[in-house]
Structure 1
Amino acid sequence: MIWKVALPMYNLSPRLQQAWEGLLGDLLDNLDLHAEVELVRAPPLPEFWLRPDLLLSQTCGYPYMTLLREQVTLIATPAFDFPGCSGSDYSSVIVAPAGAGIASLADARGGIAAVNDAHSNSGMNALRLAVAPLAREGRFFDKVVYSGSHAASLRLVREGDADIAAIDCVTYGYLKEEDPVSLLGIKELGYSATSPGLPLVAGKAVPPQLLARLRSGLTEPGPQVAGHMRDLRILAFHHRPDADYRRIIQLEAEACAAGYPLLA
Protein backbone atom coordinates (compact mmCIF):
# COMPACT_ATOMS: atom_id res chain seq x y z
CA MET A 1 0.00 0.00 0.00
CA ILE A 2 1.12 3.55 -0.76
CA TRP A 3 0.01 5.61 2.22
CA LYS A 4 -1.43 9.09 1.69
CA VAL A 5 -0.44 12.11 3.81
CA ALA A 6 -1.49 15.76 3.87
CA LEU A 7 -1.18 18.66 6.31
CA PRO A 8 -3.62 21.10 4.68
CA MET A 9 -4.86 23.31 7.50
CA TYR A 10 -2.25 26.06 7.93
CA ASN A 11 -0.60 26.45 4.49
CA LEU A 12 -1.17 30.21 4.43
CA SER A 13 1.97 31.15 2.49
CA PRO A 14 4.63 29.42 0.38
CA ARG A 15 7.05 29.61 3.33
CA LEU A 16 4.59 27.94 5.69
CA GLN A 17 3.71 25.26 3.16
CA GLN A 18 7.40 24.52 2.68
CA ALA A 19 7.92 24.30 6.45
CA TRP A 20 4.94 21.98 6.99
CA GLU A 21 6.03 19.75 4.13
CA GLY A 22 9.59 19.81 5.44
CA LEU A 23 8.42 18.70 8.87
CA LEU A 24 6.40 15.91 7.31
CA GLY A 25 9.25 14.84 5.02
CA ASP A 26 11.82 14.67 7.81
CA LEU A 27 9.38 12.82 10.05
CA LEU A 28 8.84 10.19 7.34
CA ASP A 29 12.59 9.99 6.63
CA ASN A 30 13.29 9.40 10.31
CA LEU A 31 10.79 6.53 10.24
CA ASP A 32 12.21 5.21 6.95
CA LEU A 33 8.79 5.58 5.32
CA HIS A 34 9.28 8.15 2.57
CA ALA A 35 9.28 5.63 -0.30
CA GLU A 36 5.94 4.22 0.88
CA VAL A 37 4.09 7.54 1.11
CA GLU A 38 2.45 10.00 -1.31
CA LEU A 39 1.98 13.63 -0.33
CA VAL A 40 -1.40 15.01 -1.40
CA ARG A 41 -1.60 18.79 -1.74
CA ALA A 42 -5.00 20.52 -1.40
CA PRO A 43 -6.89 17.28 -0.68
CA PRO A 44 -10.70 17.25 -0.88
CA LEU A 45 -12.09 17.50 2.64
CA PRO A 46 -13.64 15.78 4.53
CA GLU A 47 -13.37 12.88 2.04
CA PHE A 48 -9.59 12.69 2.36
CA TRP A 49 -9.78 12.07 6.11
CA LEU A 50 -11.94 8.98 5.46
CA ARG A 51 -9.57 7.28 3.01
CA PRO A 52 -8.58 3.70 3.93
CA ASP A 53 -4.97 4.47 2.93
CA LEU A 54 -4.67 7.59 5.12
CA LEU A 55 -1.40 7.62 7.07
CA LEU A 56 -1.32 11.12 8.53
CA SER A 57 -3.28 14.34 8.21
CA GLN A 58 -4.53 17.27 10.26
CA THR A 59 -8.18 17.93 10.97
CA CYS A 60 -10.33 20.39 12.91
CA GLY A 61 -11.62 19.23 16.28
CA TYR A 62 -15.29 19.75 15.39
CA PRO A 63 -15.37 17.33 12.42
CA TYR A 64 -13.18 15.00 14.45
CA MET A 65 -15.88 14.80 17.13
CA THR A 66 -18.90 14.82 14.82
CA LEU A 67 -17.66 12.75 11.86
CA LEU A 68 -14.25 11.14 12.24
CA ARG A 69 -13.85 9.64 15.72
CA GLU A 70 -14.55 6.08 14.60
CA GLN A 71 -12.52 6.45 11.40
CA VAL A 72 -9.20 7.89 12.61
CA THR A 73 -6.80 7.78 15.56
CA LEU A 74 -5.44 10.81 17.37
CA ILE A 75 -1.68 11.07 17.00
CA ALA A 76 -0.61 14.42 18.47
CA THR A 77 -1.73 18.04 18.83
CA PRO A 78 0.67 20.96 18.28
CA ALA A 79 1.20 23.56 20.99
CA PHE A 80 1.72 26.89 19.23
CA ASP A 81 3.49 30.00 20.43
CA PHE A 82 0.75 32.50 19.56
CA PRO A 83 -1.57 34.72 21.63
CA GLY A 84 -4.77 32.80 22.31
CA CYS A 85 -2.95 29.47 22.69
CA SER A 86 -2.36 27.72 26.00
CA GLY A 87 -0.36 24.54 25.63
CA SER A 88 -2.10 22.61 22.87
CA ASP A 89 -5.40 24.40 23.51
CA TYR A 90 -6.32 27.28 21.26
CA SER A 91 -9.06 29.88 20.84
CA SER A 92 -10.48 32.20 18.22
CA VAL A 93 -9.83 35.90 17.79
CA ILE A 94 -13.17 37.66 17.40
CA VAL A 95 -12.77 40.54 14.97
CA ALA A 96 -14.78 43.42 13.52
CA PRO A 97 -14.11 46.27 11.06
CA ALA A 98 -12.00 48.94 12.76
CA GLY A 99 -14.16 51.86 11.69
CA ALA A 100 -17.62 50.36 12.08
CA GLY A 101 -18.30 51.40 15.68
CA ILE A 102 -18.43 47.79 16.92
CA ALA A 103 -16.74 47.73 20.31
CA SER A 104 -18.24 44.49 21.63
CA LEU A 105 -20.14 41.45 20.46
CA ALA A 106 -23.40 43.08 21.51
CA ASP A 107 -22.77 45.89 19.01
CA ALA A 108 -22.89 43.33 16.17
CA ARG A 109 -26.55 42.46 16.83
CA GLY A 110 -28.50 42.39 13.59
CA GLY A 111 -25.32 42.42 11.52
CA ILE A 112 -23.57 39.95 9.23
CA ALA A 113 -21.28 37.18 10.50
CA ALA A 114 -18.55 35.74 8.26
CA VAL A 115 -17.80 32.06 8.95
CA ASN A 116 -15.16 29.98 7.22
CA ASP A 117 -17.13 26.72 7.32
CA ALA A 118 -20.30 25.40 8.94
CA HIS A 119 -18.26 22.55 10.50
CA SER A 120 -15.44 24.69 11.87
CA ASN A 121 -14.76 24.71 15.60
CA SER A 122 -12.89 28.01 15.52
CA GLY A 123 -15.06 29.85 12.99
CA MET A 124 -18.54 28.56 13.87
CA ASN A 125 -18.66 26.59 17.11
CA ALA A 126 -16.65 29.10 19.17
CA LEU A 127 -18.58 32.08 17.77
CA ARG A 128 -21.92 30.36 18.41
CA LEU A 129 -21.08 29.97 22.10
CA ALA A 130 -19.77 33.54 22.36
CA VAL A 131 -23.01 34.92 20.91
CA ALA A 132 -25.41 32.53 22.69
CA PRO A 133 -25.96 34.68 25.83
CA LEU A 134 -26.88 37.64 23.60
CA ALA A 135 -29.29 35.83 21.27
CA ARG A 136 -33.04 36.43 21.39
CA GLU A 137 -35.39 33.63 20.42
CA GLY A 138 -32.53 31.78 18.76
CA ARG A 139 -31.30 34.69 16.62
CA PHE A 140 -28.60 37.32 16.84
CA PHE A 141 -27.38 38.03 13.31
CA ASP A 142 -29.36 39.20 10.31
CA LYS A 143 -27.24 37.00 8.05
CA VAL A 144 -24.47 34.41 8.22
CA VAL A 145 -22.12 34.21 5.21
CA TYR A 146 -19.94 31.13 4.70
CA SER A 147 -16.68 32.35 3.19
CA GLY A 148 -14.68 29.14 2.63
CA SER A 149 -11.62 30.13 4.69
CA HIS A 150 -10.50 32.27 7.63
CA ALA A 151 -8.55 34.50 5.24
CA ALA A 152 -11.73 35.07 3.20
CA SER A 153 -13.69 35.85 6.38
CA LEU A 154 -11.08 38.45 7.33
CA ARG A 155 -11.36 39.98 3.87
CA LEU A 156 -15.14 40.28 4.21
CA VAL A 157 -14.74 41.99 7.58
CA ARG A 158 -11.92 44.25 6.38
CA GLU A 159 -13.93 45.38 3.34
CA GLY A 160 -17.08 46.03 5.37
CA ASP A 161 -19.09 43.15 3.91
CA ALA A 162 -19.34 41.45 7.30
CA ASP A 163 -19.53 42.82 10.83
CA ILE A 164 -17.89 40.03 12.80
CA ALA A 165 -15.90 36.83 12.45
CA ALA A 166 -14.10 34.34 14.69
CA ILE A 167 -10.62 33.49 13.40
CA ASP A 168 -8.49 30.58 14.59
CA CYS A 169 -5.76 32.29 16.64
CA VAL A 170 -3.04 30.24 14.90
CA THR A 171 -4.25 31.35 11.48
CA TYR A 172 -4.44 34.91 12.82
CA GLY A 173 -0.91 34.72 14.21
CA TYR A 174 0.47 33.31 10.97
CA LEU A 175 -1.26 35.99 8.90
CA LYS A 176 0.12 38.71 11.17
CA GLU A 177 3.61 37.45 10.29
CA GLU A 178 3.13 36.37 6.68
CA ASP A 179 0.57 38.87 5.36
CA PRO A 180 0.13 41.78 7.79
CA VAL A 181 -1.72 43.80 5.15
CA SER A 182 -4.58 41.30 5.46
CA LEU A 183 -5.18 42.53 9.03
CA LEU A 184 -5.24 46.24 8.26
CA GLY A 185 -8.60 47.71 9.19
CA ILE A 186 -9.34 44.82 11.58
CA LYS A 187 -10.25 45.38 15.23
CA GLU A 188 -9.77 42.59 17.79
CA LEU A 189 -12.73 42.35 20.17
CA GLY A 190 -11.31 39.52 22.26
CA TYR A 191 -10.86 35.77 22.38
CA SER A 192 -13.35 32.92 22.47
CA ALA A 193 -13.44 30.02 24.90
CA THR A 194 -10.51 27.61 24.51
CA SER A 195 -10.57 24.00 23.34
CA PRO A 196 -8.02 21.44 22.10
CA GLY A 197 -6.24 22.48 18.92
CA LEU A 198 -6.25 20.88 15.48
CA PRO A 199 -5.03 17.30 15.91
CA LEU A 200 -2.87 15.21 13.64
CA VAL A 201 -4.68 11.96 12.94
CA ALA A 202 -3.97 8.60 11.31
CA GLY A 203 -6.35 6.27 9.52
CA LYS A 204 -7.71 3.21 11.29
CA ALA A 205 -5.77 0.91 8.94
CA VAL A 206 -2.40 2.14 10.26
CA PRO A 207 -0.84 -0.64 12.39
CA PRO A 208 -0.40 0.08 16.12
CA GLN A 209 3.41 -0.08 15.95
CA LEU A 210 3.46 2.51 13.17
CA LEU A 211 1.03 4.71 15.10
CA ALA A 212 3.40 4.64 18.07
CA ARG A 213 6.38 5.52 15.86
CA LEU A 214 4.54 8.44 14.29
CA ARG A 215 3.54 9.75 17.69
CA SER A 216 7.01 9.47 19.20
CA GLY A 217 8.51 11.10 16.10
CA LEU A 218 6.42 14.18 16.91
CA THR A 219 6.40 14.23 20.70
CA GLU A 220 10.14 13.41 20.86
CA PRO A 221 11.35 15.11 17.67
CA GLY A 222 14.77 14.74 16.15
CA PRO A 223 16.79 17.86 15.28
CA GLN A 224 15.43 18.24 11.73
CA VAL A 225 11.79 17.98 12.80
CA ALA A 226 12.48 20.31 15.75
CA GLY A 227 13.93 22.88 13.35
CA HIS A 228 10.75 22.90 11.29
CA MET A 229 8.73 23.18 14.48
CA ARG A 230 10.60 26.36 15.39
CA ASP A 231 9.90 27.79 11.93
CA LEU A 232 6.20 27.00 12.42
CA ARG A 233 6.03 28.47 15.95
CA ILE A 234 5.30 25.01 17.40
CA LEU A 235 6.61 24.61 20.95
CA ALA A 236 5.81 20.90 21.23
CA PHE A 237 3.45 18.16 20.15
CA HIS A 238 1.22 16.70 22.86
CA HIS A 239 -0.51 13.33 22.83
CA ARG A 240 -4.01 14.16 24.05
CA PRO A 241 -6.62 11.57 24.98
CA ASP A 242 -9.83 11.42 23.02
CA ALA A 243 -11.72 12.59 26.12
CA ASP A 244 -10.05 16.02 25.92
CA TYR A 245 -11.84 16.70 22.64
CA ARG A 246 -15.23 16.35 24.32
CA ARG A 247 -14.64 19.97 25.31
CA ILE A 248 -15.59 20.91 21.74
CA ILE A 249 -18.97 19.19 22.05
CA GLN A 250 -19.37 20.84 25.45
CA LEU A 251 -19.10 24.24 23.74
CA GLU A 252 -21.92 23.19 21.44
CA ALA A 253 -24.00 21.88 24.33
CA GLU A 254 -23.59 25.13 26.26
CA ALA A 255 -24.86 27.14 23.29
CA CYS A 256 -27.81 24.77 22.88
CA ALA A 257 -28.62 25.03 26.59
CA ALA A 258 -28.76 28.82 26.14
CA GLY A 259 -31.36 28.36 23.40
CA TYR A 260 -28.97 29.00 20.50
CA PRO A 261 -28.39 25.69 18.67
CA LEU A 262 -27.65 27.27 15.27
CA LEU A 263 -25.50 30.25 14.39
CA ALA A 264 -28.14 32.65 13.14
Structure 2
Amino acid sequence: MGFVANARMYSVNQPAAAAWKELFGWLAQASGVDLDILDHAFPLPLADLWSREDLACAFMCGFPFMLGPQRLRPVAAPIPARAPIAGRPVYATCLVVRAQSDFHAIEDTFGGRLGYTVPDSHSGYNALRHHLLPYFRRRGAKLYRESIGPLTTPRRVIDAVLAGDIDVGPLDGYALDLMLHHQPELGSQIRVVAVTDPAPIPFLVASPGCPDEIVAPLRAALATFATAPACAKLRDQLCLDAFAPPALDDYGLTLRWDAEARAAGYPQPA
Protein backbone atom coordinates (compact mmCIF):
# COMPACT_ATOMS: atom_id res chain seq x y z
CA MET A 1 0.00 0.00 0.00
CA GLY A 2 1.31 3.43 -0.95
CA PHE A 3 0.94 6.51 1.23
CA VAL A 4 0.16 10.13 0.42
CA ALA A 5 1.37 13.52 1.64
CA ASN A 6 -0.28 16.92 1.29
CA ALA A 7 0.28 20.49 2.53
CA ARG A 8 -2.97 22.04 1.27
CA MET A 9 -3.45 24.17 4.40
CA TYR A 10 -0.15 26.01 3.93
CA SER A 11 0.19 25.88 0.14
CA VAL A 12 -0.89 29.52 0.14
CA ASN A 13 0.61 30.38 -3.26
CA GLN A 14 2.62 28.70 -5.99
CA PRO A 15 6.09 29.24 -4.45
CA ALA A 16 4.94 27.91 -1.07
CA ALA A 17 3.24 24.92 -2.69
CA ALA A 18 6.43 24.12 -4.62
CA ALA A 19 8.49 24.34 -1.43
CA TRP A 20 6.16 21.93 0.39
CA LYS A 21 6.45 19.46 -2.47
CA GLU A 22 10.23 19.76 -2.24
CA LEU A 23 10.04 19.15 1.51
CA PHE A 24 7.96 16.02 1.03
CA GLY A 25 10.50 14.83 -1.56
CA TRP A 26 13.28 15.31 0.98
CA LEU A 27 11.15 13.62 3.66
CA ALA A 28 10.57 10.56 1.48
CA GLN A 29 14.30 10.23 0.87
CA ALA A 30 15.30 10.89 4.49
CA SER A 31 12.71 8.55 5.98
CA GLY A 32 12.73 5.81 3.37
CA VAL A 33 8.93 6.11 3.09
CA ASP A 34 7.63 6.28 -0.47
CA LEU A 35 5.29 9.28 -0.46
CA ASP A 36 2.91 10.20 -3.25
CA ILE A 37 2.50 13.98 -3.13
CA LEU A 38 -1.23 14.49 -3.52
CA ASP A 39 -2.92 17.59 -4.93
CA HIS A 40 -6.08 18.35 -2.98
CA ALA A 41 -6.77 22.02 -3.60
CA PHE A 42 -9.83 24.14 -2.88
CA PRO A 43 -12.75 23.54 -3.43
CA LEU A 44 -12.14 19.88 -2.53
CA PRO A 45 -13.14 19.36 1.14
CA LEU A 46 -10.33 18.94 3.64
CA ALA A 47 -12.48 16.34 5.42
CA ASP A 48 -12.06 14.06 2.39
CA LEU A 49 -8.28 14.34 2.70
CA TRP A 50 -8.30 13.62 6.42
CA SER A 51 -10.50 10.55 5.94
CA ARG A 52 -8.13 8.80 3.51
CA GLU A 53 -6.85 5.45 4.73
CA ASP A 54 -3.52 5.98 2.91
CA LEU A 55 -2.75 9.32 4.56
CA ALA A 56 0.79 9.52 5.96
CA CYS A 57 1.48 13.25 6.21
CA ALA A 58 -1.01 16.11 5.90
CA PHE A 59 -1.75 19.24 7.89
CA MET A 60 -4.78 19.27 10.17
CA CYS A 61 -6.07 22.07 12.36
CA GLY A 62 -6.20 21.21 16.05
CA PHE A 63 -9.88 22.17 16.42
CA PRO A 64 -11.30 19.54 14.01
CA PHE A 65 -8.69 17.11 15.32
CA MET A 66 -10.14 17.46 18.81
CA LEU A 67 -13.73 17.44 17.55
CA GLY A 68 -13.30 14.36 15.33
CA PRO A 69 -14.91 11.05 16.28
CA GLN A 70 -11.69 9.22 15.44
CA ARG A 71 -8.27 10.68 16.19
CA LEU A 72 -5.70 10.72 13.44
CA ARG A 73 -2.09 9.86 14.29
CA PRO A 74 0.12 12.88 15.10
CA VAL A 75 3.37 13.08 13.12
CA ALA A 76 4.97 16.47 13.74
CA ALA A 77 4.11 20.12 14.42
CA PRO A 78 5.87 22.99 12.63
CA ILE A 79 7.70 25.71 14.54
CA PRO A 80 7.34 28.92 12.50
CA ALA A 81 10.36 31.20 12.32
CA ARG A 82 8.10 34.03 13.52
CA ALA A 83 6.07 32.04 16.04
CA PRO A 84 4.39 34.29 18.62
CA ILE A 85 6.27 32.33 21.29
CA ALA A 86 9.78 31.78 19.98
CA GLY A 87 10.78 28.17 19.50
CA ARG A 88 7.30 26.80 20.15
CA PRO A 89 4.84 25.13 17.70
CA VAL A 90 2.25 27.87 18.14
CA TYR A 91 0.59 30.49 16.00
CA ALA A 92 -1.98 33.26 16.27
CA THR A 93 -4.71 34.72 14.09
CA CYS A 94 -4.17 38.13 12.52
CA LEU A 95 -7.29 40.22 11.93
CA VAL A 96 -6.70 42.17 8.74
CA VAL A 97 -8.33 45.06 6.91
CA ARG A 98 -7.61 46.84 3.65
CA ALA A 99 -4.64 49.17 4.06
CA GLN A 100 -6.56 52.05 2.48
CA SER A 101 -9.46 51.70 4.92
CA ASP A 102 -10.14 53.93 7.92
CA PHE A 103 -9.91 50.96 10.31
CA HIS A 104 -6.93 51.10 12.66
CA ALA A 105 -8.22 49.04 15.60
CA ILE A 106 -10.59 46.10 15.79
CA GLU A 107 -13.23 48.31 17.45
CA ASP A 108 -13.29 50.46 14.32
CA THR A 109 -14.68 47.52 12.33
CA PHE A 110 -17.68 46.90 14.60
CA GLY A 111 -20.96 47.38 12.75
CA GLY A 112 -19.35 46.30 9.50
CA ARG A 113 -18.92 42.97 7.70
CA LEU A 114 -16.87 40.21 9.25
CA GLY A 115 -15.45 37.31 7.26
CA TYR A 116 -14.64 33.81 8.47
CA THR A 117 -13.18 30.66 6.91
CA VAL A 118 -15.12 27.58 8.10
CA PRO A 119 -16.82 26.79 11.45
CA ASP A 120 -14.40 23.97 12.30
CA SER A 121 -11.32 26.14 11.75
CA HIS A 122 -9.46 27.37 14.79
CA SER A 123 -7.62 30.29 13.18
CA GLY A 124 -10.48 31.35 10.92
CA TYR A 125 -13.39 30.94 13.34
CA ASN A 126 -12.69 29.69 16.87
CA ALA A 127 -9.78 32.02 17.68
CA LEU A 128 -11.64 34.89 16.03
CA ARG A 129 -14.65 34.25 18.28
CA HIS A 130 -12.41 34.01 21.35
CA HIS A 131 -10.81 37.36 20.57
CA LEU A 132 -14.17 39.06 20.04
CA LEU A 133 -15.87 37.46 23.05
CA PRO A 134 -14.92 40.17 25.62
CA TYR A 135 -16.35 42.85 23.33
CA PHE A 136 -19.52 40.81 22.84
CA ARG A 137 -19.91 40.39 26.61
CA ARG A 138 -19.55 44.12 27.19
CA ARG A 139 -22.03 45.01 24.46
CA GLY A 140 -24.41 42.13 25.02
CA ALA A 141 -25.25 42.25 21.32
CA LYS A 142 -23.89 41.43 17.88
CA LEU A 143 -20.72 43.27 16.99
CA TYR A 144 -21.15 43.13 13.20
CA ARG A 145 -24.11 43.67 10.95
CA GLU A 146 -23.10 40.73 8.77
CA SER A 147 -20.94 37.62 9.07
CA ILE A 148 -19.76 36.41 5.66
CA GLY A 149 -18.51 32.90 4.94
CA PRO A 150 -17.43 30.26 4.60
CA LEU A 151 -14.50 31.79 2.75
CA THR A 152 -12.57 28.55 3.44
CA THR A 153 -8.97 29.59 2.75
CA PRO A 154 -6.67 32.42 3.93
CA ARG A 155 -6.16 33.50 0.32
CA ARG A 156 -9.90 33.92 -0.16
CA VAL A 157 -10.10 35.96 3.06
CA ILE A 158 -7.49 38.37 1.66
CA ASP A 159 -9.30 38.49 -1.68
CA ALA A 160 -12.57 39.35 0.10
CA VAL A 161 -10.87 42.10 2.11
CA LEU A 162 -9.21 43.62 -0.96
CA ALA A 163 -12.44 43.42 -2.98
CA GLY A 164 -14.35 45.23 -0.25
CA ASP A 165 -16.67 42.27 0.30
CA ILE A 166 -15.73 42.21 3.99
CA ASP A 167 -14.29 44.88 6.26
CA VAL A 168 -12.17 42.56 8.39
CA GLY A 169 -11.15 38.94 8.21
CA PRO A 170 -9.05 36.37 10.10
CA LEU A 171 -5.75 35.03 8.79
CA ASP A 172 -3.69 32.17 10.18
CA GLY A 173 -0.53 34.04 11.19
CA TYR A 174 1.83 31.42 9.78
CA ALA A 175 -0.09 31.37 6.48
CA LEU A 176 0.23 35.15 6.38
CA ASP A 177 4.00 34.89 6.99
CA LEU A 178 4.26 32.55 4.00
CA MET A 179 2.18 34.83 1.78
CA LEU A 180 4.18 37.93 2.69
CA HIS A 181 7.48 36.09 2.22
CA HIS A 182 6.62 35.09 -1.34
CA GLN A 183 4.31 38.01 -2.19
CA PRO A 184 5.77 41.00 -0.30
CA GLU A 185 3.55 43.40 -2.25
CA LEU A 186 0.62 42.20 -0.12
CA GLY A 187 2.17 44.00 2.83
CA SER A 188 1.18 47.38 1.37
CA GLN A 189 -2.37 46.24 0.61
CA ILE A 190 -3.51 44.96 4.01
CA ARG A 191 -3.13 46.06 7.63
CA VAL A 192 -3.26 43.97 10.79
CA VAL A 193 -5.55 45.62 13.37
CA ALA A 194 -5.46 42.87 16.04
CA VAL A 195 -3.75 39.59 16.87
CA THR A 196 -5.36 36.82 18.91
CA ASP A 197 -3.82 34.93 21.80
CA PRO A 198 -1.39 32.17 20.71
CA ALA A 199 -2.63 28.62 20.25
CA PRO A 200 -1.07 25.28 19.23
CA ILE A 201 -0.50 25.23 15.48
CA PRO A 202 -1.98 22.82 12.89
CA PHE A 203 0.21 19.75 12.63
CA LEU A 204 1.00 16.89 10.31
CA VAL A 205 -1.14 13.79 10.80
CA ALA A 206 -1.47 10.28 9.42
CA SER A 207 -4.55 8.09 9.16
CA PRO A 208 -5.58 6.21 12.34
CA GLY A 209 -4.48 2.94 10.70
CA CYS A 210 -1.14 4.17 9.37
CA PRO A 211 1.40 1.63 10.70
CA ASP A 212 4.24 2.43 13.08
CA GLU A 213 6.81 1.48 10.44
CA ILE A 214 5.57 4.44 8.38
CA VAL A 215 4.89 7.01 11.11
CA ALA A 216 8.08 6.44 13.13
CA PRO A 217 10.58 7.15 10.33
CA LEU A 218 8.58 10.20 9.23
CA ARG A 219 8.77 11.58 12.77
CA ALA A 220 12.47 10.81 13.01
CA ALA A 221 13.28 12.50 9.70
CA LEU A 222 11.25 15.63 10.50
CA ALA A 223 13.09 15.90 13.83
CA THR A 224 16.28 16.52 11.79
CA PHE A 225 14.76 19.27 9.61
CA ALA A 226 16.16 22.09 11.76
CA THR A 227 19.77 21.10 11.16
CA ALA A 228 19.72 19.11 7.91
CA PRO A 229 22.04 20.87 5.39
CA ALA A 230 19.70 19.80 2.56
CA CYS A 231 16.87 21.79 4.19
CA ALA A 232 18.63 25.13 4.60
CA LYS A 233 16.86 26.68 1.60
CA LEU A 234 13.55 25.06 2.58
CA ARG A 235 13.73 26.55 6.07
CA ASP A 236 13.86 29.98 4.44
CA GLN A 237 11.23 29.28 1.79
CA LEU A 238 8.81 27.82 4.34
CA CYS A 239 9.55 30.36 7.10
CA LEU A 240 10.13 27.40 9.41
CA ASP A 241 12.69 26.75 12.11
CA ALA A 242 11.92 23.13 12.95
CA PHE A 243 9.34 20.42 13.58
CA ALA A 244 8.45 19.16 17.06
CA PRO A 245 6.33 16.32 18.50
CA PRO A 246 2.74 17.61 18.92
CA ALA A 247 1.71 18.03 22.56
CA LEU A 248 -1.86 16.80 22.17
CA ASP A 249 -2.99 18.01 25.59
CA ASP A 250 -2.28 21.58 24.47
CA TYR A 251 -4.96 21.30 21.78
CA GLY A 252 -7.63 21.06 24.48
CA LEU A 253 -7.40 24.87 24.45
CA THR A 254 -9.42 24.89 21.21
CA LEU A 255 -12.32 23.10 22.92
CA ARG A 256 -12.15 25.38 25.97
CA TRP A 257 -12.37 28.49 23.80
CA ASP A 258 -15.32 26.99 21.93
CA ALA A 259 -17.12 26.10 25.18
CA GLU A 260 -16.55 29.59 26.62
CA ALA A 261 -18.05 31.27 23.56
CA ARG A 262 -21.07 28.99 23.51
CA ALA A 263 -21.69 29.39 27.24
CA ALA A 264 -21.73 33.17 26.69
CA GLY A 265 -24.33 32.84 23.94
CA TYR A 266 -21.81 33.61 21.21
CA PRO A 267 -21.89 30.47 19.07
CA GLN A 268 -20.66 32.22 15.93
CA PRO A 269 -18.64 35.38 15.34
CA ALA A 270 -20.87 38.26 14.30
Same fold (TM over 0.5): yes
Give the superposition deviation at 1:226: 5.1
Deviations 1:67-126 (A, max 9, x none): 26x241111110011264542110011112334332322222221011122222111111
Match for 1:144 among 140, 147, 153? 147
Across the aligned residues of Structure 1 and Structure 2, the Cα RMSD in angstroms comes to 2.0
Q: Does 2:160 match 1:162?
A: no
Q: Does 1:117 align with 2:83?
A: no
Change (3 A) 1:235 1:120: same
1:24 positional shift: 0.7
Name 1:42's counterpart in structure 2.
40
Deviation at 1:171, TM superposition (A): 1.4
CA deviation after TM superposition for structure 1 residue 227, in Å: 4.3
Name 1:78's counterpart in structure 2: 78
Deviations 1:160-184 (A, max 9, x none): 2211111111111122122233343
Per-residue deviation at 1:225?
A: 4.0
| SS at 2:9 equivalent | coil
Distance in 1 between the 2:213 and 2:63 partners? Answer: 27
Superposed, 1:1-264 pairs within 5 Å as 1-34=1-34, 37-42=35-40, 44=44, 45-67=46-68, 70-82=70-82, 84=84, 86=86, 87-135=88-136, 136-137=139-140, 139-146=142-149, 147-221=151-225, 222-225=228-231, 227-264=233-270
Deviations 1:209-252 (A, max 9, x none): 33221111111234324542333121111102211111111222
Aligned counterparts of 1:156 and 1:85: Cα–Cα separation in 2 = 29
In the alignment, structure 2 segments of 5+ residues that lack a partner are none
Alpha-carbon distance in structure 1 between the residues aligned to 2:112 and 2:202: 29
Query: Are the structure 2 counterparts of residues 178 and 205 from structure 1 closer, same or farther at C-alpha, using a change threshold of 3 Å?
Result: same
TM-score of the aligned structures, taking structure 1 as reference length? 0.90
Q: Which amino acid aligns with 2:171?
A: I
Alpha carbons 2:76, 2:205 under 8 Å: kept: yes
Deviations 1:30-74 (A, max 9, x none): 22222xx32211253111111111111111122111126x24111
Alpha-carbon distance in structure 2 between the residues aligned to 1:48 and 1:249: 22
Q: Across the two proteins, how many residue pairs are aligned to each other?
A: 261
Contact 1:4 1:40 in 2 (8 A): yes
Q: Which runs of 5+ in 1 are unaligned?
A: none
Structure 1 residues 225 and 143: alpha-carbon distance in aligned structure 2, compared to 1, 3 A threshold: same
